[in-house]
Amino acid sequence: MGNKIGKAPAFQFYAGDFLSDINVTTMTMAQRGIYITLLAYEWIEGSLPSDMLKLRILCGNHTDFDADWSIVRDCFFEKDGRLYNRRLESERTNMIEYRERMSANGRKGAKSRWQGHSKAIAEPSIIEVEEEVEVKVKKNNDNQVFKKEFEKDFWSIYPRRDNKKRAQDKFISLRKKGTSIETIVNGLESYKKYWKQHGTSAEYIPMASTWLNQERFNDELLSDTKTVDRLSVKKDIEKEYMCPSCEHEIKTKEEDFTGSKALCKSCKEDFYLSKVSAMIEIRAKKAELAKPKSPRTAESGLPGKTQASTSSDESTQSLGSLLENLGVH
């Protein structure tokens, strides 16, 4: 089981990094809920079980858990039968290191205060001083080397050019932790091929600092992942259209299917609508035609006369004949 963080009840949550994550952008709201819930359990317990039944229970026996987990699964990796999120474990390491630094600084401060009040604490030896100076010099030299690597090997080829200082700081931090320059650059080259292949514009490419924070250089080849498949389907899907007059159907991938493009190829009198809209219009027309009509006379086509009005007409005709016979005009 992974390391628990001890007394730390919370972890850093970077909203911008979360929302720009290519896996998160393709998730439904339910899948994002599962993802965040499992991150919380991992932070508390140190890792997650790989057993599907246990994960479903942790997520409240969510109805569609199996289907949703097939998407969320890409955000975790398995090690020794347990599941981990790479970014969360990175934040855990950062917090542990921060707490250790704070503890060390506290001890140094206490030592400094005691030195002012007691002669029992010996002054550092020349060897200790030399070793401390040597460490500082090496640290400064490493920083200069890492800065040159950042400029030459990373920043010069990254597609976005904003937030450079933050990206440089994260790059140096990764190099100090032992991440090789080859790992970072090779990962970036893979992403550049993916972005080019899928026509990703600059505004949809994450900032370099975000890309480094998420350690995207460790991602699998994107051309083989479910994520890319989901994104590709969105671009290549065919839409169905129908003419509401002649019911002719057509499929097209065109995004802007309007104007002359939408003129029916069959009757050439009406325009295609989305199939659903066309079917609604057709049903409405059929319902209108199916309404019962008022009775009409055979000769005039006007609404039929009632029996009372017919009798009145016959009476009028009889009275006319009588007056004519009497010589009244």
Evaluate whether 100 touches 13 at the Cβ level (below 8 Å).
no
User: What per-residue confidence (pLDDT) applies to 317?
Assistant: 57
Q: What is the pTM of this model?
A: 0.39
Amino acid identity for residue 108 in this structure: K
Using CA atoms, how far apart are residues 321 and 324, in angstroms rounded to an integer?
5
295-321 core/surface letters (b: 16 or more CB in 10 A; e: else): eeeeeeeeeeeeeeeeeeeeeeeeeee
DSSP 153: I
> Do the beta carbons of residue 260 and residue 268 sit within 8 Å?
no
Strand pairing partners for 274? 241
Q: Are 90 and 215 in contact (CB under 8 A)?
A: yes
With CA atoms as reference, report the closest residue to 84 among 30, 31, 41.
41
pLDDT in tens, the chain (329 residues): 555 555 577 888 888 888 888 889 889 999 999 999 999 999 988 999 999 999 999 999 998 999 999 999 999 999 999 999 999 988 888 888 888 888 777 777 776 666 655 555 555 565 665 566 566 656 667 788 999 999 999 999 999 988 899 999 999 999 999 999 999 999 999 899 888 888 888 888 999 999 999 898 988 754 444 444 454 444 456 788 889 899 999 888 766 666 677 888 899 888 888 888 888 888 888 878 877 765 554 444 555 444 444 555 555 555 455 445 545 45
Q: How far apart are CA 66 and CA 289, in angstroms?
A: 48
- Nearest residue to 282 (alpha-carbon basis) of 248, 240, 238: 248
Read off the DSSP letter of residue 296. B
**Helices 65-72 & 226-236 angle (0-180, nearest 10):** 100
Where do the structural domains in the chain lie, given as residue ranges? Answer: 1-118, 138-236, 238-289
CA 257/CA 248 separation, integer angstroms: 16
CA distance 253 to 242: 14
Q: Is 293 left (phi over 0), alpha (psi -120 to 50) or beta?
A: beta
Do 87 and 77 contact (CB within 8 A), yes or no? no
pLDDT, one tens digit per residue, over 1-59 is 555 555 577 888 888 888 888 889 889 999 999 999 999 999 988 999 999 999 999 99
Residue where the block lists tokens 């325009």: 271
Q: Are the CB atoms for 39 and 2 separated by under 8 Å?
A: no
Could you tell me if 304 and 313 are in contact, meaning their C-beta atoms sit under 8 angstroms apart? no
d(CA 306, CA 205): 78
Q: For tokens 């991440």, what's the residue?
A: 179
Give the position of tokens 């990962």: 187
User: Looking up tokens 């990796």, which residue turns up?
Assistant: 77
Distinct helix (H) and strand (E) counts, the chain: 13, 6
